[in-house]
Structure 1
Amino acid sequence: MEDDWEGVGLRLLSSDDDNTLVLFSSTEELTEFRRKLAAYAGPKPAGQKDRSFAGFIDRIESVSTLEPRDRLGIRLLERGFTGATDFQDNEIYLVDIELWDFAGAPARRRKAEEIGAFVEARNGEVFDTYVGPSLTIMRVQAPGQALRPVLSVPEVALIDHPPEPDLEAQPVVEMALEDLPAAEPVSPDAPIVAVLDSGINAHPLLEDVLIASETFDTGLSAADIWGHGTKVGGAAVFGDLRDQIASGQLRKSVRLVSAKIITDDGQFYDRRTLPNLMRTVFRGLNERYGCRIFVLSLGDKKSWFERGRVGPWAMTLDELARELDVLVFVSAGNRSPRGGNVVEQGVTQYPQYLLEEANRIFEPSGAANVVTVGSLSHGSGLAAQHRDDAHVRAITAGPNEPSPFTRAGPGAGGITKPDFSDLGGTMLFSAVTRSLQSAPIVPEAGITTLNHDFVRQLFTSASGTSIATPLLARKAALLLQRFPEASANLVRALLAGAASFPDEMTTRLQAMDALETASVVGNGLVDPVKAVYSDDHRVIYFAEDQLDIDKFAIYRIPIPVEFQTGGKRTIRISLAYDPPVRRTRADYLGTKMDFRLIRGCPVDHISNFFRSHAGQESTHPDMPPRYDCDLKPSKTQRGGNTLQTGSITFTKDTLDYGNEYHLVVRCMGGWATDELRQRFAIVVELEHQIGVQLYARLRPRLRT
């Protein structure tokens, strides 16, 4: 514990989830610590069972001194730096030097001044210094010969390149209609996205897209007075407008229906229960306009999710998703991570605070049959004017790291939530205002979208999971455009099969285990092109089916010779189903499903094995390990989810297992009745290295 270290004259500077501690001593003698080590190493005191101070020292696995390489930041590491010697004598570097919180602000300021004087005496320059209650940062430009010795200063925590400024958003936000690039008309058969929010105004860029605006309170107009719904609708149609404007062409991908369910002051209707309102809106828009994609970038911030249970709102959405076979996209919710006297911890404790109990998802984002969306940063959020200002700190270094405000799961019954993450902006720490800032105050920190008050300004910048949610719904619309008859389960499974963890995300969350990572970012970021199309070296199979309770299906997966050799190959399986739900039950889901990938085993043997286990187990039986492919995430981690994905990668030859694998999908009973037939969709992806012609080889075998 921290008090134990203070008792031996050491100050705890940092602790990681893997139990690594960084400790600081103001003296080199470490007198009390050495005394305890010496006593521990000596003979046992008479009458004692253990050595002296064994309870303290036995818990220490190893002790070492921080080396210069331990102080290299992530951007320097990405550039190939491995130690102090990589700094070249006469090359000029722009870096941030961060000090440990080793003492009070006056002591840290003195140390910063000492380092600054050392650097300036060697032809360097200190641009800026910030000393706060716990954070100390210097912005320095200096030759390598001046920086190498700084890496050995005990009080220095990190040296790294400053975050790169983002593409400036302000000029885009301030653009006039006549300055915009040409806009492609929307396809007349483009999927319709229903946005349940504060309304959507008749923005000039939506004139051929917004096909209907409805209100569900007779006392209100359909106009977006609150200003949230137009931002969400704009993100669903265009994505990030900065990217579109930079490309020189505005492309509209969906049509919109606006359902105003929020009053002009941002509240739910007083006279309607949310379950009743949801049923009225969903059924009405589905019947009148054929809406199959619904976006709810809203949450009940007074009712955060209790582990294992959901509220009436979430259960109603689960029921509607199943009854109407529709896709429901719900935002995970937002939280400003720190404020007041500890606002700097928004920088220093990122991303650990994303796992705090106070950061759990809001109702209704714990629902099982809906798609819950978390947020990723699109960049650092810094503008060009922040380049030489150490008083403004980025929390995220660049794209695809979890947004500092995104909320984490799990969801109903411990299922993985969010399901996916998409771009939703970031935050900055401003030492001048002592606050965490985001869009629209800092336009670069957000996603550029449509402004509801378009007469005054066409565009605005917005941050939040409420913006990430329509961005993912837009990708789902691309799937429905390609496969208009696809079930909601199939679209969910295709999205899961095309999701991955970008390198930036993996690096930032490396201290978290697999379950913790999934609770923050779900299955990751979806690549819509991978979801929609096969490729020469990557083939996607899919099927939609139904199973009775306690029944199983076996699917043959052809494995050509080209896939059995030749380096890295991956098989990925994704399953989606929509069980009945009941929040009064301890087990929220009425059925459960799972899958196993079997290789090197005759199909009759597989069938007999699973038939022999029928009715005996509530969990999926496992064949001997020599047959069962070890998919990741593990069967335990994915087993309770209504959206599951698992993959296995081969690097060695697998010729001994033949040219067919088998996929077993099983439906396991819960409280649901035996008469139920559970719908599901399964997606299988085979991916080889580029250059291997898998698609042409497998296409003729499709019918078999």
Structure 2
Amino acid sequence: MTNQFDHLKLPRVYVQLPRKSGGGFGGYKRDDRSTHGQNLLSQIAAVTKSAKERKSSFRLDPKLIFKIKLVKESNLSDDDLAKSGLTMLAREPAANKAIVVFSSDAELKEFHNRMENYSGIKTDHKYDYLDAVEALTPLEPQDRLGRLLELEPLQPGEIAALDLELWHTGDRDEMRKYINQIRQDLQERSTSTATFALTDHHIGDYLCIARIKINQQLLDELLNEFIVKEVDRRPKAAFEKRIEYNLSLSDLPDIISPSTNCCGILIIDSGVQRGHSLLAPVIGDAEVFPDAKREFLKSGPDDEADHGTGVAGIAAYGNIEDCIRKKTFDPTVWIFSARIINENNEFDEELLLENQLEEAISYFVNQHPNCKVINLSLGNAEQIYQDGKKQLRLAAKLDELAYRYQHKNLVFIVAAGNSYVYSQRDDRELLRTDYPNYLLEPEARIIDPATSAIALTVGSLSLGRGSMTYPSDAQRNAIAKVPGYPSPFTRTGFGVDGMIKPDLVDFGGDFVLDGDRIAQDNDAAVSVVTFSQNYNSSLFKVASGTSFAAPRAAHLAAQLFNKYPEASSNMIRALITTSAKLPDEIPSLFQIGSGLTQKQKTEQREKQWAIYGYGQADLERAMYSTENYVVMWEDHLEIAVGDFDLFEIPALPPEFLQKKGKRHLSIALAFDPPTRHTRGDSYLGITMEFNLFKGVDRENVINARVDVEKAKKAGKEGSYSELSIEDLKKQFGSGCMVDDLLPGANLRKKSALQRGVVEISSQATNYDKSPLYLVVSCNRKWVKVEEIPSQRYALVVAISHSDPEVKLYNRLNVALKQANQLNQQARIRQ
């Protein structure tokens, strides 16, 4: 890319617009409150009686935890629950429409009193919000049985290492007592022939889990404990098969280590082979977590599973094939390695993966300030995300860590995972004949932790090459074949609450089908080249899998941190997303052809987003602007929850519309909100969205905000209307909002990373007459504003024309400087 320029600063209009508070919960009205209230009072009595009579075989305090089923059209707010003496523990997905609540009052006195008023027994208050309650029911053992245990029940005589999750009441000391009691009870029940134990535990702000070894009898008892949320089988690691790729590099020069201030990438995996001649100069630190006594990973940080070394090689150098072709390896990235997996690709059955992740990340980011990118090319293939379900556990842990380490500005990169539909030999031919239809099947959905909201999730693309091993063999063929087609093993979206996932795709390889079998040699032509763990026989190997697509994105993120060392993690994510594009060729199943109805076009686009996310990232587009591709950005922004921020985009030059070609305007928003995996109503505690306005007078927009701010400062709360997006549309005309940004606002705003793109026609109006105004809003879902009053974010706007002769950069640069001067004058007037 020629004529590379630095990105430009996006002008912010420094007046915030308070948002109209969201509508309250409820809305459903009952006509039979007396009868319904009497029924609920009977259910309250049954729930409290059950709690008193239930005897805990583990001697655990039987907390009053039960389920409130809600009317489909309604809801209950956290505030209303608190006033009723209840604490919300979890919201089930909308399909189930239920909440799990906890009461420290074993008699439910306040809730009982309000229900009596509601039903007419008392007449103090009516408490209309109780219309939303359909029924009160206890939690049953089946409610506490995890999905993996449902699929693979304990066998007679089996003592298994399982994951136990307890309902977190908000009191860490209390949760610690529960953990200690369970540990003690299991120790007391152990015998010389049956050893039971609690081997590890984790207590966070919202999560309390333990690793336990039990049999079926103890499992049955735990499933009847009030405080138990879920018991499930532990995660299993899922990796790819690979072979060595022999190539002599005897004429390569010595490798010089990166400078000390270069960005570092932490690879959490099976370790790295520190003796590898191309890796040794870039390894900053390597450790085992948290197996300090080397009882599980006895050989230390080195890679024995032949996975982490391959991931690390791509993270360090990016496209290794290019490096080999040019015979140059010039590293600009440090590699840190946290080994958590043994030589058999297994996690420690006595340790929680959540604790391993937390200890590893804590160690490296505190010991090595340049460690800013975290790559996880691992996943639990048994935990496939299903529509309408709540967040998966490892993904929730990553989001918790991302939020906790905001000040460190960490970018998390996660592989989407590999799917193996048609795994039976008799069905193998369908891998070719049914490609790519099966990628949209539920079995091919992303796995834990790829559903992480704040991490960048990366799916896989084919390199577009055929078999090289036996090129004349008619039955030996690659499946995807075309460059940029999705790999036949990649996993697809959407994610939690309908978030666009994966976020990105990159090259991860293809499968070669040899008759009725998948070629076990990972045919070199269709696979990704990376580093071999067995470096004494070969420095390189080939492999296929999303595991090797993810570190390409990690390498790109590290390069951006090298270019912009003060950038926030949100800005890096936004720049990467802005740079992403769909491949030039995509399967016809996902194309948007002519003659389709609007509904059919929407369905096709949703397929594209589910497969490709926002596309394949490009380092040069992320790092630099050019004459015909201009990026404007604003970083380290802070917005009050419930408010609007306003940004000004200069009017586009006439040449932009007059010159033939494709014109695009792209907006990317990245933020890192608090999350909670027990919330089925909204995994994100804060949501954000943006809307673009054109043909709007600048002074009118600013004056409207100034009037609002003056009214607020004067305390005239009742004398003005808080403007909303709808108010702006009414004020400036229905045609003022650019509503053809894709994806649409309803889909975009579900994610913590959003991009909207509009293709601008040559006949489009109001793009060249006056500035455009970008309104960014911040909405409360379940956070308490007094505890989390604001949200940080980053914003990127890119304007491009396909004709390289269109000179955008200098014209927009001048206009931006003028806009900044006007903004300063507006601030003075306030």
1:35-58 superposed Cα distances (whole Å, 9 cap, x missing partner): xxxxxxxxxxxxxxxxxxxxxxxx
Give the 3 Å change call, closer, same or farther, for CA 618–660 of structure 1 in structure 2. closer
Return the match for 1:576 from 662, 670, 677: 670
Return the match for 1:598 from 693, 699, 713: 693
Paired position in structure 1 for 2:659:
566
Paired position in structure 1 for 2:61:
none
Is the contact between residue 564 and residue 655 of structure 1 (CA under 8 Å) also seen in structure 2? no
Paired position in structure 1 for 2:322:
243
Paired position in structure 2 for 1:335:
419
> Does 2:377 correspond to 1:297?
yes
Paired position in structure 2 for 1:641:
751
Report the more deviating stretch, 213-222 or 446-455: 213-222
For the aligned residues, what is the CA RMSD? Answer: 2.5
Paired position in structure 2 for 1:626:
735
SS at match of 2:336: strand
1:138-149 aligned within 5 A: none
Paired position in structure 2 for 1:662:
773
Amino acid at match of 1:392: R
Is the contact between residue 457 and residue 503 of structure 2 (CA under 8 Å) also seen in structure 1? yes
> Does 2:803 correspond to 1:694?
no
Return the match for 1:487 from 547, 568, 586: 568
Amino acid at match of 2:668: S
Aligned residues: 531
Amino acid at match of 1:422: D
Give the 3 Å change call, closer, same or farther, for CA 527–186 of structure 1 in structure 2. same
SS at match of 1:697: helix
1:560-584 superposed Cα distances (whole Å, 9 cap, x missing partner): 4343533342211011111110111
Is the contact between residue 402 and residue 520 of structure 1 (CA under 8 Å) also seen in structure 2? yes
1:85-139 superposed Cα distances (whole Å, 9 cap, x missing partner): xxxxxxxxxxxxxxxxxxxxxxxxxxxxxxxxxxxxxxxxxxxxxxxxxxxxxxx
Whole-angstrom distance in 1 between the partners of 2:443 and 2:764: 47
SS at match of 1:444: helix
Amino acid at match of 1:552: F
Give the 3 Å change call, closer, same or farther, for CA 276–496 of structure 1 in structure 2. same
Q: How far apart are residue 625 of structure 1 and its match?
A: 4.0
Report the more deviating stretch, 238-247 or 336-345: 238-247
Is the contact between residue 499 and residue 750 of structure 2 (CA under 8 Å) also seen in structure 1? yes
SS at match of 2:549: helix
Paired position in structure 1 for 2:277:
204
Paired position in structure 1 for 2:590:
509
Return the match for 2:452 from 359, 362, 367: 367
1:482-535 superposed Cα distances (whole Å, 9 cap, x missing partner): 101111110111011000111212656327611122111111101110000000
Return the match for 1:268 from 342, 347, 352: 347
Give the 3 Å change call, closer, same or farther, for CA 632–441 of structure 1 in structure 2. closer
Q: How far apart are residue 607 of structure 1 and its match?
A: 6.0
Is the contact between residue 539 and residue 695 of structure 1 (CA under 8 Å) also seen in structure 2? yes
Paired position in structure 1 for 2:151:
none
1:220-278 superposed Cα distances (whole Å, 9 cap, x missing partner): 31111111100100111122322221233223231100111112221112232222222
1:228-627 aligned within 5 A: 228-290=307-369, 291-307=371-387, 308-324=389-405, 325-338=409-422, 339-383=424-468, 385-386=470-471, 388-431=472-515, 434-437=516-519, 440-505=521-586, 507=588, 509-510=590-591, 513-544=604-635, 545-561=637-653, 562-567=655-660, 568-586=662-680, 587-603=682-698, 605-606=700-701, 614=722, 624-627=733-736
Whole-angstrom distance in 2 between the partners of 1:182 and 1:620: 62
Q: Which has the higher contact order (CA 8 A, sep 6+)?
A: 2
SS at match of 2:796: strand
Whole-angstrom distance in 2 between the partners of 1:482 and 1:702: 23
> Does 2:282 correspond to 1:227?
no
Amino acid at match of 1:248: K
Amino acid at match of 1:267: E
Q: How far apart are residue 642 of structure 1 and its match?
A: 1.0
1:144-163 aligned within 5 A: none
Q: What 5-or-longer segments of structure 1 have no aligned partner?
A: 1-168
Is the contact between residue 392 and residue 428 of structure 1 (CA under 8 Å) also seen in structure 2? yes
1:592-643 superposed Cα distances (whole Å, 9 cap, x missing partner): 1111111001235446889787597999989744111121222222121111
TM-score scaled by length of structure 2: 0.61
Give the 3 Å change call, closer, same or farther, for CA 516–548 of structure 1 in structure 2. same
Whole-angstrom distance in 2 between the partners of 1:665 and 1:473: 28
Q: What 5-or-longer segments of structure 2 have no aligned partner?
A: 1-241, 593-602, 709-719, 821-830
Amino acid at match of 2:265: V
Q: How far apart are residue 385 of structure 1 and its match?
A: 3.2
Whole-angstrom distance in 2 between the partners of 1:347 and 1:244: 32
1:328-364 superposed Cα distances (whole Å, 9 cap, x missing partner): 1111100123232111000010000001111111111
Q: How far apart are residue 466 of structure 1 and its match?
A: 0.5
Is the contact between residue 565 and residue 655 of structure 1 (CA under 8 Å) also seen in structure 2? no
Whole-angstrom distance in 1 between the partners of 2:321 and 2:551: 16
1:17-51 superposed Cα distances (whole Å, 9 cap, x missing partner): xxxxxxxxxxxxxxxxxxxxxxxxxxxxxxxxxxx
SS at match of 1:496: helix
SS at match of 1:335: coil
Is the contact between residue 590 and residue 605 of structure 2 (CA under 8 Å) also seen in structure 1? no
Give the 3 Å change call, closer, same or farther, for CA 366–693 of structure 1 in structure 2. same
Is the contact between residue 451 and residue 459 of structure 1 (CA under 8 Å) also seen in structure 2? yes
Paired position in structure 1 for 2:287:
214
Amino acid at match of 2:564: F
Is the contact between residue 425 and residue 463 of structure 1 (CA under 8 Å) also seen in structure 2? yes
Whole-angstrom distance in 2 between the partners of 1:698 and 1:509: 35
Give the 3 Å change call, closer, same or farther, for CA 624–446 of structure 1 in structure 2. farther
Q: How far apart are residue 303 of structure 1 and its match?
A: 1.9
Whole-angstrom distance in 2 between the partners of 1:640 and 1:212: 38
Is the contact between residue 552 and residue 664 of structure 1 (CA under 8 Å) also seen in structure 2? yes
Q: How far apart are residue 442 of structure 1 and its match?
A: 1.7
Give the 3 Å change call, closer, same or farther, for CA 385–187 of structure 1 in structure 2. farther
Whole-angstrom distance in 2 between the partners of 1:297 and 1:275: 15
Whole-angstrom distance in 1 between the partners of 2:459 and 2:762: 36
Is the contact between residue 620 and residue 666 of structure 1 (CA under 8 Å) also seen in structure 2? no
Is the contact between residue 465 and residue 482 of structure 2 (CA under 8 Å) also seen in structure 1? yes
Amino acid at match of 2:518: L
1:289-329 superposed Cα distances (whole Å, 9 cap, x missing partner): 12110000000122222333222211110011122131111
Is the contact between residue 565 and residue 654 of structure 1 (CA under 8 Å) also seen in structure 2? no
Whole-angstrom distance in 2 between the partners of 1:207 and 1:347: 41
Is the contact between residue 310 and residue 364 of structure 1 (CA under 8 Å) also seen in structure 2? no
Amino acid at match of 2:517: S
SS at match of 1:378: coil
Whole-angstrom distance in 1 between the partners of 2:703 and 2:612: 39
Give the 3 Å change call, closer, same or farther, for CA 663–617 of structure 1 in structure 2. closer
Whole-angstrom distance in 2 between the partners of 1:655 and 1:509: 31
Give the 3 Å change call, closer, same or farther, for CA 614–580 of structure 1 in structure 2. farther
Give the 3 Å change call, closer, same or farther, for CA 457–407 of structure 1 in structure 2. same
